[in-house]
Each structure stands twice: as C-alpha cells, then as structure tokens.
Amino acid sequence: MSTSTKLIILLTVLVGSVMIVGGYYRLQQRHALLVSALQNELHAHALTLRIALSDHYRDGRHDDAQQLINKLSENPKILGVVLFDANGNVAMLSNQLVAEEISRPLQVKEVINANNPVFASHRIAGQEVTSILMPFQMSDIERGAFEIAQPRSFVEADFMRARRDITLVTISLFLVITLGVLLVLGRNLARPIRELLTGAEALGEGDLNYRVIVPAGNNEFSRLASAFNRMADRLSQQRLLAENTAAENLKLEQKLLTAERLASVGRLAAGVAHEMGAPLNVIKGRTERLMEQLAPLSEKTERNLTIINHQADVIARIVRQLLDLGRPLNLNRQATSITELIASTIELVEEDARTHHIRIDHRSGADLLVNGDPGWLKQVLLNICRNAIQSMPQGGTLQIETSNMLVMEDGGTYMSVRISDTGTGIPASSLHQIFDPFFTTKDVGQGIGLGLSISRRIVEEHDGWIEVENNALGGATFTIWLPNAEAPNQTLAQKQERHEYSNSYR
Ligand code: ADP
C-alpha cells in the first residue's frame, strides 16, 4: 500500500473519529436541552396551576379545580393532571387518568412536607412520562400537591429528529472532508510522488531522456522534481560523454589494430616484395631489350612482349603496394597544388579510360594548395581513379571535382577532392569493409585489396579523412578531405556541404 494511501486512510479515520465523538457530544447536549426545556415548560404550567388552585381552594371553589385540571389536560402535550390531598392520596384526576395507577402517597407526602417541587420519570397509562410534583396551599394550614405529567414521546420525537439531523450533517461533513483530503493529497502528494517514482524507474531502466513534470509553486515537490530533472540532465550528459569517449577509444583501437595488422603483414609482404623486385627488374629489362633487339617485330611477337611488359607492370604495382604497406610513410609535406596533382594523375589513367570508353570530367575550381606529400597524395588519387575505372567496364564518366574551404570545430581548414563514377557502385554490405587490407571483390589478378587501405593510411597521416557513398543514380563517390596549406574564411554553404558529407560513410 502506498504511503499516500496510508496517509489518506489515517486522516480519514482520524477525521471520522473526531466527527463521531463530536456528533455524539452534540446529541447529548441536544437531549439535555430538550429535557430541560420540557422541565421548564412543566414548571411554568405548575406555577400557573398552583396560583389558580390556591385561589380556588382559598375561596372554597373546589369544583372549579376539577375544571381547571381538565382544561389543562386538553393541552396535547400534557397527558394528565392529578391532585393529591394533604395525606398524599389522589383527590382529583383529569379525565383520562386512573387513580390506582398513580397512587404513591409516600413520595407525594415527602414533596408536601419539603414544600419543594420535584421532577420524576415513571409510567402512567402505559406511557413513559416526565412529571412535576408541585406542593400548593389548600387552606391556611393544609397543604396538598398536584402532578402534571407530560408524555416523554414528545421529547423522544424531538430527540430522534435531532439525531437524524446531526447524523446527516456529520456524514455530509465527513464525506466533504474526506473528498477534500483525497483531492488535496492526491494532487499535492500522490501525483508528484507517482511522477517521481516513474521517473526514477525510467532512469533506472536506462531511459535518461525521461523528465518529470515539475508541479507548480515552490514547494518541496517542485524543488525535488527540478532537482531530479537536473540530475537526469547531468546523467545524460555524462552518458553522452562516456559514449563519445568509448566511440573514440574504439576508433583508436581499430586504428591501432589495423596499423598493427598492416605493420605485421607489411613486414612479411615487404620481405617477399623485396625478393620479387630483382627478378621483376630482370623480366622488364629483358623484355625491353628483346623489343629493341628484335625490331622490327612481327605482330604476334610484339603483342606477346607487350603483354609480358604489361603484366610485369601489374606485378610491379602489387610489389610497390606490398612495400608501401610495411614502410613508414616519412611524409615530405609541402604546399602542393591540388590541380596539378589531379592533372598528373589523369595523365596516368587516361589511356586506360579511353580503352574502356570512359570520359574524364575534371572540374577544377580555384587552384588550392594542400599541405601534403605530393608523391603519396598522387598515389591516393591514382588508387581511387583506377578503382573507379575498373567499376565501369561498359564505359561511363569519371568526374573529379575540388571543393572550397571548410573550417572545422578545431579551427583547421580543409579542402576536398570528389571522385565520382557511374559504375557498379558498392554493395551496402561491403561499404564498411572496403578500407580493410586485402578486402577485394575483384577477380584474381585484378586487385589484392590494398589500394584503399593504403590510401586511407596516407590520407590520415596527412590529418585528413576519406568518405565514400553510393550515388543516387548509380556508381560511387569518394571524397578525400585534406588540410589546406592556407586558411581562407569558411562560408555557410561550405559548412552545410560538410554536414552533408558527414552523413555518408567514413
Ligand atoms: P582492390 O582494388 O585491389 O580490390 P581496393 O582496396 O582498392 O582493392 O578496393 C577494395 C574494394 O572496394 C574493391 O575490390 C571493390 O569491391 C571496392 N571498390 C573500390 N572502389 C570502388 C568503386 N569506385 N566502385 C565500386 N567498388 C569499388
């Protein structure tokens, strides 16, 4: 049972008890009042009757006394009147009374002797009555008494009416007070407690966004609710902080893990690559010599030697990638023209693009300078452009675009190179894997899955990052963000541009 329910029951019981005791006390008072009013009335009748009787007896008009008491008995509130002689015996009765029923000479004698009126309660003619026994002078020496009896039923009826009224008033008051207590406690106690309890449970279950309704006013509950909400604010801030820190740590761990993996694989690969370098040089050298020596070549021989040369180039590229994997980058940072970097990359891939019916669309903006190593950055552009070309075996468009400046929260300024193709795009399930070393979807001989992981490493060593997303109309877009060598101002449009990119996969 809740505390507020207990409090409500306790208050109700207390109020109920007080009202019952109060009601009983008022009823008793009313009863005493009614009895005293009855006695006063009887006393007033008796005083009047005593004067009249004394006058009649003194004048010897005894018969008129009978008429007098009969007259008084006609009063509906009076049951009857009895006259007693000096010996206490019944001398005269009002019409409806029977002498035997009211004969009590001893008590009457006492009243006559004491000469003081007395009130009594007894039964006459089958009815409970309250009566007054009043002495009076029958003559100068003789004293008699008379009794006026009033049925108690009048008092009882009044009393019953009073009891009904008091009970009704008590019950109504009790109901009103109980209802008031219920309303006041419910509004000011039960509801705020329930609200705080729900809030505490929600927080306990991890819903740190739950806030309780703060009751109006400046009472304990409104202060408690405000304090509760402030605590929830702080908790959710701390959780956000903890989550961010955990995410940062996870990123760092993943980076370290990748770096470690790359380093160990790189060491192994570099060993192998090193051993492959000399024979590869021999193959290339000999092929070129043969081409010179055997000139002019037959078509078949020239094709075969070109294939050997080309394949040796492919192996050389793989060997270079394997060597890159293991060795430290040792960046030679300098202000490098991004337009020149793109132009020299296009030179390297345009032959391949032409062969595959791919149009290269270079949209250069202002010639921006990046703070980076031109050799390594060209390697990145080359890897991404080659992937784009390979993703468009049926031809398409390779678009290269440079963006303006972007100012980050840390104050650094960045520029971007967007490389888009109209090729196959990247399956959503592979988006998070393409930067992993040795992840490839290409056929054997087409790629070993190192291009993007090396590219990311190079870009991150430059304090930049790479984002990738699929285009709405097909194909993929890679965006390389690099720190700028200068620091022009950022515009709002560029900020929004950054926001859009940050929604894509990094
Ligand atoms: P490799 O080219 O040797 O496979 P990368 O690391 O360069 O290795 O690329 C990894 C994978 O990413 C590719 O095998 C391919 O599945 C996917 N990929 C990269 N660029 C694109 C692109 N422009 N379009 C479609 N898929 C791409």
What would the pLDDT profile of 282-315 be if each residue is shown by its tens digit? 998 998 898 888 878 788 888 998 889 888 888 8
Task: Give percent of the chain above pLDDT 90.
Answer: 34
Is there a single domain that holds both residue 320 and residue 335?
A: no
State yes or no: pLDDT of 419 exceeds 80. Answer: yes
**Tokens 């003789």 appear where?**
142
Asked if 437 and 261 count as a contact pair (C-beta separation under 8 A), the reply is yes
Strand partners, 83: 92, 146
Residue 378 domain-assigned (yes or no):
yes
Is there a single domain that holds both residue 155 and residue 232?
A: no
Domain containing 243 — which CATH number? 1.10.287
Structure tokens at 387: 């992937």
Is there a single domain that holds both residue 363 and residue 295?
A: no
Residue 431: CB within 6 Å of ligand 1? no
Q: Place 99 in a pLDDT band, splitting at 50, 70 and 90.
A: low
> What is the pLDDT, as a whole number, of residue 494?
43
Strand partners, 399: 361, 420
Asked if 210 and 202 count as a contact pair (C-beta separation under 8 A), the reply is yes
**Tokens 């209802």 appear where?**
179
Residue 469: CB within 6 Å of ligand 1? no
> What is the pLDDT, as a whole number, of residue 126?
80
Is there a single domain that holds both residue 396 and residue 497?
A: yes
Residue 388 domain-assigned (yes or no):
yes
Is there a single domain that holds both residue 25 and residue 118?
A: yes
Structure tokens at 312: 């040796």
Residue 396: CB within 6 Å of ligand 1? no
For 134-157, give the DSSP string. Answer: EEEESSSS-EEEEEEEEETHHHHH
Q: Residue 141's CB: how many other CB atoms inside 10 A?
A: 7
CA distances from 33 to 37, 38, 156, 374, 387 (A): 6, 9, 12, 116, 112
pTM of the shown model: 0.50
- Indicate the top mutation candidate among 431, 440, 458, 459 to test ligand 1's pocket, ranked by most ligand atoms within 8 A of CB: 440
> What is the pLDDT, as a whole number, of residue 100?
66
Q: Place 361 in a pLDDT band, splitting at 50, 70 and 90.
A: very high
Structure tokens at 359: 């149009």
- Mean pLDDT over 195-221 rounds to 88
> What is the pLDDT, as a whole number, of residue 499?
38
Is there a single domain that holds both residue 356 and residue 385?
A: yes
Residue 13 domain-assigned (yes or no):
yes
Residue 36 domain-assigned (yes or no):
yes
The dihedrals phi and psi of 429, each to the nearest 5 degrees, come to -70, -20
CA distances from 413 to 200, 371, 410 (A): 45, 11, 9
Spacing, Cα 427 to ligand 1 middle (Å): 11
Residue 170 domain-assigned (yes or no):
no
Residue 448: CB within 6 Å of ligand 1? yes
- Closest atom of ligand 1 to 419 CA is 23
* DSSP structural state of residue 505: B
> What is the pLDDT, as a whole number, of residue 427?
94
State yes or no: pLDDT of 52 exceeds 60. Answer: yes
- Indicate the top mutation candidate among 394, 434, 453, 469 to test ligand 1's pocket, ranked by most ligand atoms within 8 A of CB: 434
Residue 447: CB within 6 Å of ligand 1? yes
Domain, as residue range, for 116: 3-160
Residue at which a domain ends, from 327, 351, 383:
327
- Closest atom of ligand 1 to 439 CA is 10
Burial of 358 (0-12, 13-18, 19+ CB in 10 A): buried
Spacing, Cα 387 to ligand 1 middle (Å): 5
- Indicate the top mutation candidate among 318, 358, 386, 387 to test ligand 1's pocket, ranked by most ligand atoms within 8 A of CB: 387
Is there a single domain that holds both residue 317 and residue 369?
A: no
> What is the pLDDT, as a whole number, of residue 409?
67
Residue 426: CB within 6 Å of ligand 1? yes
State yes or no: pLDDT of 432 exceeds 60. Answer: yes
Residue at which a domain ends, from 283, 303, 327:
327
What residue owns the CA closest to ligand 1's atom 26?
426
Cis omega (within 30 of 0) on the bond before 296? yes
Domain containing 44 — which CATH number? 3.30.450.20
Pairing status of strand 476-483 against strand 413-421: antiparallel
Residue 432: CB within 6 Å of ligand 1? no
> What is the pLDDT, as a whole number, of residue 326?
66
CA distances from 10 to 182, 192, 230, 441, 446 (A): 12, 20, 34, 77, 86
Is there a single domain that holds both residue 427 and residue 396?
A: yes
Asked if 459 and 480 count as a contact pair (C-beta separation under 8 A), the reply is yes
State yes or no: pLDDT of 418 exceeds 90. Answer: yes
> What is the pLDDT, as a whole number, of residue 423?
96
Is there a single domain that holds both residue 318 and residue 376?
A: no
Residue 161: CB within 6 Å of ligand 1? no
